[in-house]
Amino acid sequence: MFGTDAFPPDRSVYAIHRRFFETADEAFDYDPEGPPSQGRWTISGLHIPDDVLDEVYGENARRLIPRLSLRP
């Protein structure tokens, strides 16, 4: 199940997480505001397969909280 401790939610933070999970990009900053606040290193994307991303982004939550699957 995916979530961050970013509060309030910030699109730029989620964009970095998506890039980390979904791409094979190399050596990019993990802080949207320039030099990373916890070190000056970079991260590289994991390029997680789509079926695993589906689990991380939603299916795990729906399995743990069945009401999320109900349609209005």
Asked whether 19 and 42 are in contact (CB, 8 A), the reply is no
pLDDT digits (tens, 9 = 90+) for 23-63: 999 999 888 887 776 778 889 999 999 999 999 999 998 99
Handedness of CA 5, 43, 30, 56 (dihedral sign): negative
pTM above 0.85, yes or no: no
pLDDT value, residue 72? 65
Do you know the residue count of the chain? 72
* Residue 68: other Cβ atoms inside 10 A: 11
